[in-house]
Every structure is written in C-alpha cells, then in structure tokens.
A and B are shown apart, each in its own frame.
Chain A
C-alpha cells in the first residue's frame, strides 16, 4: 500500500481511499411535529472545507447524523464517489471513510491516548492488545497533522483542546477520508482555534474532505472554502466563502438583517454594587477553584469575565449566588457582607442570577412557564396573598412577560421542558430582569442560544446597563464579552490574570491572557481602572 504519493492513486497519505465527492440529495428527516430536514442537498469534495452554518435547531446536526449513520433519512440519497450508500449504523459510515468529531467528546478519561485510539478496534494480535503498533501510528499521524499530544498521557490529564486532538487522531486512525466537525471551536481558546485551523487546512491539502459545522460567522469565513446555510431544515443557499461576508451570512441564517455591532453609549458609572475581595472558593475535586479573586462591579457597567471553560468561572458564579460555600474572602452586595448568606438573602437584596445550567438550576422543567416565572417571588404580592397563590395575577403578569420578552410558547401553562433552549433562556431573563435587579450575574447567558435570541438577550443586557444595574457577565464567548463589556477581567486557573478596558481590548491580547499569560509591565493584576 503506497503512503507516499499524495493522492495521485486516489489514496490519502494515511492510506485510505479518498472520498472524491460525497453528495446528499433531497434528504428529508421528520420528527414528530418537526420537519428537521426538508429536501436538503449538500455535497463536499476531496480537498475542501465546506462549512455548514445555521442556528440551533436549523437541522445541521440532524443532517450530519444521517451521514454518520446515526439516523436514517426518511427520503433522499447519500452518494459517495457516485455510489449510493445505506448506513445502518456509525460502523457502516466509518467503514465508508466517514469520521465525526462530536461536540461532547467520546473518550475514556482513565485510559491513555493510545488506549482510547485502540478502543473498539480489532487488534492484530487476537485477544492481546498491540498498543506499540497503535502508538507508532498515532505518533506518525500527530506529526503529519500537527496534532500535538503525548500518546502515553492519560486522557483525564489533558486539556480540552488536547482531548479534541485525540478525537481527531481517533478518526484519522480509523481511516476517515471525510471528517465531520460539530462545533469544534466551542471549547477552545483563540490560540487553540488557530492550531485546529492549521490542522484542518493541512488535512484538506492532503485530500481529506471536511465538513465544519458552526454558528460562528467569523470562523466560517476564516476556515471554509464554501458555506451552506440551513434555516428551518431547508438550504437557504451555498456560497463560495470568498464571495460572501458576515452580514450576508447572518441574514441568510436568521432570515432578516441582523445587528452585529451594538450601540453602546459610554458607561455612566455609579457606586460599587458588587465587591469581591480576595475570594477563595473550593471546587468539586477538593482543590481551590477560585483563588484570591478581587473584582468590583459598579452600577451602570458591564464587567465581562472571560476565560476558557473550567477555569473557575462556574465556581465563582455559584459562590456569588450563594450556592457554593466560600473558603475565605468577602462578597459585598450593595455594601452589605453577604459572604455566608443563603441565596434568599441575596435575592432579597436585589441580586439576580442567570445560571449557566438553565434546566438544572434556573428552571423546574416540569413546572409551567407561569410557575417558573414566579420561582423567586411567588411568596410576595402580586403573586400571592397570605399563603394563597393568586392565579389571576400570575396568569396576567406571566402573559405580559411572555409577550414582552418574546418567549415563544403555546401558553403560559406549557411545561418548560417543551420549550427550546433559547426560549427557556428568555424566560429566565424575563424573570430575572423584571425584578429590576441592582446586581445581575449572567453566566453564559447565550450559550446554545440562536443568533436571533442572542441579539435580543444582548440588547436587553445593554438596556439593563443603561438602567443602572451592575452586571457581571461571565462568558466563554469572547465575541460576546467584547461586544458588551466596559471592562474585561480574564480568569485563568481560578485567578484573575488581568483586567483590561473593554472597548480597546484586542482578541489577541485577551487570548494570551486566557492562556495564562499575564499582562506585562505597568498593568499588573487589577491595578487599572476605567
């Protein structure tokens, strides 16, 4: 088997047969009440990166799951190199040369990289493992595609970016000629994204066909050769990337013009509403997840807390909400020490919290929309008199909030579990903002939310800033942080690496800080102020 000649004999450098062309024709996939894919045509060729762009629920993942053998299409055909394929399982798809990198990694943490790659494969030595051979091959592949990772390391020791590389190595090892990447950048720092893109370009040059699923416009523009936009299960259009731009793609995704830059009048700073002093918070594994963090948020400003997932943001947010005990340090809310107060006391003082896990922490999914809207204030008028709930008032106010905050729901009696993620988030926003909070802690407020709803949530946060609320915005989405924040604090391994002025911060500067590189010279730690 020749591994030398680059693609000339129809093979990839990995030895796998090239997939010259994969076509999906007229794909229809129906779920109860939803037409997830409506006669979708999609194709990708060897040597090409084809981006599949669309909002949540547009049908991107459904389409790709059919290509990977996880679902069977109700109608339509899948052709590889002109031959129709019938995939009954991912095994069939893998055999045909298709690989998929899922959003959630499918790795066993207690095994090494090599063991993970070998997992589920037939060994050349019968029931005995042949890990040396696997390791050799893994080294070759990681060399070839710049996928830096120690083959002998245990997966639990690896950073998220490295784990993703293991997933890619796994797919390459299994001979993927066509690779599907489902939102691969969601968990990476900007620098890691650059590394990933280099790898993807190298793979494309070698003759792999790549499908890049995303809802981030700038990434799609940076990496892809062509873009196909899906909306409501239908293809809106396919464009060569160099002939399109952000606003055209955004409009195709949403179906109407979208504001990409917000009007942001200068901050009218008021008094310090939230003061965090030398806070230390324990994590789930017994370590200190938040280490000596100090931060102040004034009335009328948005302070963004940027950082790669898992650097203490969640623990900090939970400590601020009163859901996680504080080891040392203080939290002052409107001047009052609430370090050890329960959540109820903070709510009573005017703090609102948009939790990261909206279904686990923010809502009771079996409860109706109306019951969820009164979660914090059900014991107060107008929602109740004495101990009796006032259903008329609850209904009236819920219906108003649902209208005002654009929550799409059949009625206020619908259980929240039947709502989409974006609408649940709007419901939480409606509940938290309608209380006119003095301090708002918003943790990942737009994660998994589509562009339309994201835009809406951002506008609402900015309105709240204008109204004089002190807002701490915790987000892993750097674009979001930069678009909204007056000041940006960067957290790395539980420590604030630095605080920079929001409007003038560059992505590179923030990216370096997110990777733990402290700011040099005069602005060290939280010395600078607006």
Chain B
C-alpha cells in the first residue's frame, strides 16, 4: 500500500512538472486546425515558421535582435511583478527612452562615442524610469491604480512622439525632400551600438540585455532592496508589519520597470533603427509582459522566453509569406501558446495543492 501510493505520488509530480511543456504542442494543434479553416497547409506553415526563426544564420540573428527588447522589457516587468505591481506602460516607456536617447545623440553629435554612447543609454533609461515613476508616485501617494495610470502614460508618450517626430525632431532631409515621413535624422555614427555579426542587425545591445538579466537576478535575490521588493510583492501586510514602507517599494518597482523599458527603447534606436521613427516600440511593451510571465517572472527564465517569442515574431513573417495567411494568425498562435502554458501551469499548481491538502 505505501509503495503504491508513493509511486502514484511521484507520477503525479512528474505529470505536473511536464504539463506546461505538453501545453505547447496542444496549442500548435489548435493552431493547425485554424490553419485548415483558413485553407492553408499546416505542415507548410509550421515548417516556414521554424525556418524563418532558426533556418539560417541571418534568421537566428534576427530572432536574437527581436528577443533583445523583449528581454529588457521583460526584466522590468519581472521587477514590477515581483513587487506586486503591474506595469502595462512598457510601450510608453520604450518610446520616451528612444526619444530622449535620440534627442541627446542628435544634440551633442560632436561628442566622442566613449561619452555619448553610454550617456544616451543612461538618459534613455532615466527617462523610462521617470515615465514609470509618475504612476509609481501616484500609487504610493494617492492609491491610483497603476494599471490605469501606466496605460494613460502610454497614450501621452505616443502623442508626444507624434508631435516631436512631425515637428521639432523631424529629419531636416524629410522636409527638404517634401516627403515628411515622421522620423528623426540619423544618429551620429559614434552613438551606434556596434554590430556583432557582419551583414546582420545583431548588435551589442543583446549582450547588454544578457548582462542586465544577470544583474537583475543579483539585485532581486542578493540585495536588501530586492529582498524588500519581493517581500512587498508576496505579502504587503507582513512587509508593513516588519517596518518596510510598502508604497515606497511599490513605486520603486514600477520605476525600475520603466527604467528597463526605457533602456530597451534606447537600445532599439541605437542598435537597430539608428534613428527614431514611428512604431519603434513595435508592441514590445506588451509582448515583454508575456515573455516575463512565460519566463516565470524570473530574470534568467525570461532569457529563453524572449528568444522563443523573438523567434515566433521572425518566423511569423516567413510563414505569412509561405501560406498567405493574415498576419493576425501569428498573434492568435502566440495567444494560444500563452493561454495554454499559463493555464496549464495554474492547473498543475492547483492539482498539487489539492493533493497535499489535509487536516
């Protein structure tokens, strides 16, 4: 009797551990059904998806290029979530980070790269932090819901960008040519992040993001500030009891979240586009949330999660071309994967809890 129940218990635990992994193929099967409804060949579509993501050196570097802002935003989201606050303001924070880095680089285009490049990254980070601090302070002081206020801050950042890119910051060449495309001038060369592989877009920002992931891990788990943020996020009541000023650390968590999104914006400008343009944030502010959740809100887990979603983004382009499905299908597929993985994880946790409850 004891033997049998022990074995059963082990089997249960194994099952619960692999559930989230099993969820991905299930999501893909449903994706395949949708493809069939769209009269596309799922085999061809998925082959194109995989090839697009990792089929060549170029596609691998493209995957990593897309993964970089996802990772940076995801790190910020991780800090905020660990502190028990939800930052939906990634988009706005990316935009102000990119705008300020661009403005700085264009204003001081004579400065040497050794100063200008790190300064641009820093200013991008700080302005993202500022964009996060506003909802943070509003929450701490007045109890304003941070989900609402971060979304509002997105709208403000977007309109600010629209104004600047059409007015004060527009590329003088665009006015001359009369095309008036809403984008800034090209950044001075010394403010470009170096490319890692010739003929590709892979840039040093990816390495920076990896370093940041390790730093965030150290910050959250090895420092007193990280300890406090996690304490506040897990049990605000107990944190308050222990003398931790809860609102301050909640505000700090959103501010740091904003800082990483701002850095992502600066990196995207300096590494990929080399100029500020409309739509630069590219939805990373939202996909970064998904990457962070997928990475189990762990800085190191967010690394593979970002690569996975980066790969999906890149592969989706190729798939779209291969089987002529609407681009919305890719979003659907990503949504399905997230939905299945997240809910299977919740299911596994509940199952485990039910098994172990007694008395």
| Contact between chains at B244 and A355 (CB < 8 Å) | no
Which chain B residues lie closer than 8 Å to A241 at the CB level? none
Interface residues on B, range: 20 to 34
- A362–B231 Cα gap in the complex (Å)? 12
B355 near A343 with CB under 8 A, answer no
Q: Which residues of B sit under 8 angstroms from A57, Cβ to Cβ?
A: 359
Determine which of B227, B241, B245 lies in contact with A371 in the assembled complex, contact meaning CB atoms within 8 Å: B227
Q: CB-nearest residue of chain B relative to A345?
A: B243
CB distance from B83 to the nearest CB of A (A): 13
A 378-422 contacts with B by CB, 8 A: 378-379, 384, 387-389, 391
Residue of B nearest to A391 (CB): B222
Cβ-neighbour of B240 out of A36, A323, A371, A391 (below 8 A): A323
Q: Is the beta-carbon distance between A387 and B356 smaller than 8 angstroms?
A: no
With a cutoff of 8 Å between Cβ atoms, the chain A residues found around residue B356 in the complex are 31-32
* CB <8 Å contact, B241 and A389: no
B222, B223, B235, B244: the one contacting A360 at CB < 8 Å is B235
Which B23-47 residues have a C-beta within 8 angstroms of A? none
Q: Does B239 contact A (CB under 8 A)?
A: yes
Contact, CB under 8 Å: B238 / A362 = yes
Q: Inside 8 A of B243's CB, which chain A residues have their CB?
A: 342-348, 376
B interface footprint on A47-88 (CB within 8 Å = 1, 0 otherwise): 000000000010001100000000000100000000000000
Q: Is the C-beta of B17 less than 8 angstroms from some C-beta in chain A? A: no
Contact residues in B for A361 (Cβ distance below 8 Å): 237-238, 241
Interface flags, A362-385, vs B, CB<8A=1, else 0: 111111000100011011000010
Q: Is chain B's interface secondary structure helix, strand, loop, or mixed overall?
A: helix
A353: min CB distance to chain B, Å? 7
Q: 1/0 contact trace for B124-156 toward A, CB 8 Å?
A: 000000000000000000000000000000000
Given A36-B359, A344-B243, A344-B245, A379:B237 Cβ within 8 A: no
Bound Cα distance from A34 to B355, whole angstroms: 12
Q: Chain A: interface residue count, which band?
A: 35 or more
In the complex formed, the residue of B with least CB distance to A374 is B227
Do A343 and B241 have beta carbons less than 8 Å apart?
A: yes
Q: B238: which A residues are within 8 A, CB to CB?
A: 360-364, 375
Q: Mark B327-359, 1 if CB is under 8 A from A, else 0.
A: 000000000000000000000000000011011
In the bound complex, residues from chain A placing their C-beta under 8 Å from that of B359 are 31, 36, 57, 61-62
Contact with B along A6-50 (1 / 0, CB 8 A): 000000000000000000000000111010100000000000000
Q: Is A321 on the interface with B (CB-CB < 8 A)?
A: yes
CB pair B224 A389 closer than 8 Å: yes
* Cα-based distance from A88 to B245 in the complex (angstroms): 50
Please state if A365 and B358 are interface contacts (CB–CB under 8 Å). no
Tell me the complex Cα distance, A343–B241, Å: 6
Question: Complex formed: what's the CA distance from A367 to B242 in Å?
Answer: 14
**Contact between B5 and A343, CB atoms less than 8 A apart:** no
CA distance A384 to B227 in the complex (A): 11
Q: Closest residue of chain A to B12, judged by CB?
A: A32
Minimum distance in angstroms from B232 CB to a CB of chain A: 10
A323 to B237 Cα, complex, angstroms? 9
B217-262: which residues lie under 8 A (CB-CB) from chain A?
Answer: 222-225, 227-228, 230-231, 234-235, 237-245
A528–B1 Cα distance when bound, in Å, is 65
Complexed CA–CA distance, A365 and B311 (Å) = 37
B234 x A366 contact (CB < 8 A): yes
* Chain A residues numbered 272-299 whose CB sits less than 8 Å from any CB in chain B: none
CA distance A424 to B288 in the complex (A): 38
**B9 contacts the other chain (CB 8 A):** yes
Closest 4 CB pairs of A and B: A344-B243, A31-B358, A375-B242, A347-B243
Contacts A343-B242, A378-B224 supplied; 9 other A-B pairs, CB < 8 Å: A30-B2, A31-B356, A31-B359, A321-B241, A323-B241, A346-B243, A361-B238, A366-B235, A387-B224
Q: Could you write out 20 A-B pairs with CB less than 8 Å apart? A: A32-B9, A62-B358, A323-B240, A323-B241, A343-B242, A344-B243, A346-B243, A347-B242, A347-B243, A360-B237, A361-B238, A362-B238, A362-B241, A367-B231, A367-B234, A375-B238, A376-B242, A376-B243, A378-B224, A387-B224
